[in-house]
Amino acid sequence: MILVTGGTGLVGSHLLYDLTRSGKNVRVLKRQSSNVSTVKKVFSYYTPDPELLLNKIEWVDADLLDVYSLMEAMDGVTEVYHCAAMVSFEKKHQAEMMNINVEGTSNMVNAALEKGIKKFCHVSSIAALGRAERGGIISELTPWKSSPENSNYSISKYGAEREVWRGAEEGLNVVIVNPSLIVGGGNWSQSSSNMFTKAYKGIKFYSSGTNGFIDVRDVAALMIKLMDSSISNQRFLLNAENASFRHYFDLIHDAFGKGKASIKAGTFLTGFAWRAEMLRAFISGSTPLITKETSLSANRKSSFSNDKILQTFPNFQFIPLEQSINDTCRLYLNDLKQ
């Protein structure tokens, strides 16, 4: 039996599809308030009969902050994929995010150790990696450094990784994956999928930053390959290719048939924008679309290596960014018709 957390998220839902279609027995941990409709939607992208696979999933209500419920959920489980995490760049969510991402992962590790889980896959993020010197390529070995530029999300994911490594020292067999910016569809109002919603409505500004990108289908496939291998106690940066944010959004606008962003948002303009957006959100009581952390990220030039994962699986072929975006835009447009 395989246990998956975060199964209703972007990575988790695609992972569930791959696991169930390969005939694996899967139990999924969820909160009582979780909406599983996104999982059905994702399954419907790839099969005409999603219910056939959905019926193979055993859903269990549990809480990452309740270690006893986690141990109960791990009864009879041999492998764990820990995909659950909170993503926020708002200061007001800092404490909650630290609890879910750090303490929640600590509880998962403790429960896995107690239950004798054979292998544990933790989904981290490039946010938990260090920063390279100017013009350098970031890899699994790039050291983490404390910095005022580290977002609270980055700190929480780094803290979560420390809990996983602690588990490894105590005897847990682990692998960690650090995906770059994930491209894929499902819940168009959350995570990186929300960028397609914003692009469809039209984006006038572009930033000067660069980042790594990877298709969610590649993330799920590589996680399973790592878990099915004899590899243990290693981390892997998952990145298909590096590109500028302008190129990324140009590809999305092209796929949607929309006009491209034409106004460069430099440091001054993005600094003004996030302050104005914070004021608007405070007055209206809504969620800010831009924060200080996201504005800094938009102008940061980062490039990521995929050497280690390709040396491990030399025959693996990443889905090109343009194809990934075209496929995701097609899914978005089809969902609009529903």
What pLDDT score does 275 carry?
42
What pLDDT score does 57 carry?
95
What pLDDT score does 286 carry?
47
What pLDDT score does 266 carry?
53
What pLDDT score does 288 carry?
45
Domains of the chain plus CATH, in order, are 2-184+212-242+302-321 (3.40.50.720)
Task: Tell me the two tokens of residue 45.
Answer: 């992208």
> pLDDT 10s per residue in the chain (338 long)?
999 999 999 999 999 999 999 999 999 998 877 778 889 999 999 999 999 999 999 999 999 999 999 999 999 999 999 999 988 777 777 889 899 999 999 999 999 999 999 999 999 999 899 887 776 899 999 988 887 778 888 899 999 999 999 999 999 999 999 999 999 998 877 777 888 888 888 777 667 778 899 999 999 999 999 999 999 999 999 999 999 888 988 899 999 888 776 655 555 334 433 343 344 444 544 454 444 445 445 556 789 999 999 999 999 999 999 999 999 999 988 888 87
Strand partners, 234: 175
What pLDDT score does 268 carry?
38
Residue at 306: amino acid letter: N
What pLDDT score does 225 carry?
98
What pLDDT score does 297 carry?
58
